[in-house]
A = this chain, B = another copy of it.
Amino acid sequence: MAVAAAPADLVPELLQEYGALAKERLDRYLAPREPRRYLYDLVADYPHRGGRMLRSSLCLASARAFGAPAGDALGTAVAIEMLHNAFLVHDDIEDESDRRRGMPSLPALHGTAAALNAGDALAILSLQPLLDNRMLLGPAVALDILEEATRTARESVEGQAMELGWRRENIADLDTIDYLRMILKKTCWYTTIYPCYVGALIGNRHRPDITPFIRFGYFLGAAFQIQDDVLNLVGAERAYGKERDGDIWEGKRTVMIIHLLRQATAPERAQLLAILARSRGDRSAADVQWVRQRMASYGSIAYAQQLASGLAGAAIHEAEELLAPLPDSRDRRFIQALPRWVIERT
């Protein structure tokens, strides 16, 4: 029996191992074909820039923890990464993001039109491994997974619509609850709830009750997203891969912005709303600096970190419930260790 990795090492170790497995299969689905220069080179760009493969690894670990061999979940795991990359491409257009994973974004490189179409292609291609499940898992399980994937994608666009709508209308009257409801749909569903649930579905060969997966995935995914937004402010650009303070430049409604909107004095609030009302190109470095300083005075980042910790704690509790019936395994320990890793990563 192999010596069990210490909890702190287990998550990066398994992400590395399962990520490599998923990347290999991903490459098959992204193999170059025509039209190459106008489409498939763009389609493969973000996936080949690397990523932490969290979603595919969680799916594989969940399937194994629930009793299936990794091979049974590999296509499904790869499909999530493809959908994730499709979202990233469309997000970069919607947010006017110039950078992604340390390089110019796809719209910055190829223009809005070609990037939008490449995002569409990635979303369409993400269905292929789920259709290929038919031979591997049988038509009933393949259709169950397709149904869950479709619901997941719908949750994401609903959450995205909420965030974009708040930004476009410069909505000020938001609180942490609104943020959490939005992020449940936009991020948690496809990042944590679905990968974990669909892994269990593959392990069980039928749909388990989704409720405990929603609870676990919600707490874990929300902690993950809030920590991601904190890292956008305090992380090193090189490790993060997106521009520092990019969320402020983009006027995103993060927990920190929502906290600041509620804590600031009336004149500060008015100034913040005026900055948020500007189009991205009209925001200045001084604007961004001012927002950062206000966040510091009001403890908005500390508030977000505390919230992420609280959510991670709840996720640890939910993981125990979810995993209680399962025998000990490295995959089970990985899932149990994820909440702590999510808030401790830098």
Residues of A within 8 A of B (CB): 34-35, 37-39, 90, 93-95, 110-114, 116-118, 120-121, 123-125, 127-128, 131, 134, 139-140, 142-143, 146-147, 150, 153-154, 157-158, 160-162, 164-165, 167-168
Across the interface, which residues of B come within 8 angstroms of A140, CB to CB? 139
Taking A38-B161, A38-B162 as known contacts, 16 extra A-B pairs with beta carbons closer than 8 A to each other, sorted by chain A number, are A35-B158, A35-B161, A38-B165, A90-B116, A93-B113, A110-B168, A113-B167, A114-B164, A114-B168, A116-B116, A117-B160, A121-B154, A121-B157, A121-B161, A127-B146, A139-B140
What's the least CB distance linking A48 to chain B, in Å? 18
Among B39, B150, B157, B168, the residue within 8 A (CB) of A161 is B39
A141: nearest chain-B partner, CB-CB? B139
- Give, as a whole number of angstroms, the nearest-CB distance from A136 to chain B: 13
Query: Given B39, B131, B164, which contacts A146 in the complex, CB threshold below 8 Å?
Result: B131
Complex partner residue of A125 from B120, B142, B147, B154, CB under 8 angstroms: B154
A277 shortest CB reach to chain B, Å: 14
Are the CB atoms of A113 and B94 closer together than 8 Å? Answer: yes
A122 smallest CB distance to B (angstroms): 9
Q: How far is the CB of A47 from chain B (nearest CB, A)?
A: 16
Bound-state CA distance A153–B164 (Å) is 26
How far is it, in angstroms, between the C-alpha of A219 and the C-alpha of B227 when the chains are bound? 55
Residue of B nearest to A110 (CB): B168
Residues of B within 8 A of A37 (CB): 165
Q: Whole-angstrom distance from the CB of A226 to the nearest CB of chain B? A: 21
Q: Are A94 and B121 in contact (CB under 8 A)?
A: no
Known contacts A39-B157, A140-B139, A157-B39; A114/B165 CB under 8 A: yes
Q: In the bound complex, do residue A39 and residue B93 qualify as a contact, i.e. CB atoms below 8 Å apart?
A: no
Kindly list chain B residues whose C-beta atoms are within 8 Å of the C-beta of A93. Answer: 112-113, 116
Take A114-B165, A120-B123, A161-B35 as given contacts and tell me if A143 and B134 are in contact as well, using a CB distance cutoff of 8 Å. yes
Contact A117 B35 (CB under 8 A): no
20 contacts between A and B (CB under 8 A): A35-B158, A35-B162, A35-B165, A38-B162, A39-B165, A94-B112, A110-B168, A112-B112, A113-B164, A113-B167, A113-B168, A114-B164, A118-B161, A121-B154, A121-B161, A124-B153, A124-B154, A125-B154, A127-B150, A134-B143
> What residues of chain B lie closer than 8 Å to A34, measured between beta carbons?
158
CA distance A153 to B139 in the complex (A): 21
Q: Are the C-beta atoms of B150 and A139 separated by less than 8 Å?
A: no
Q: Which of A143, A150, A157 has the most CB of B within 10 A?
A: A157
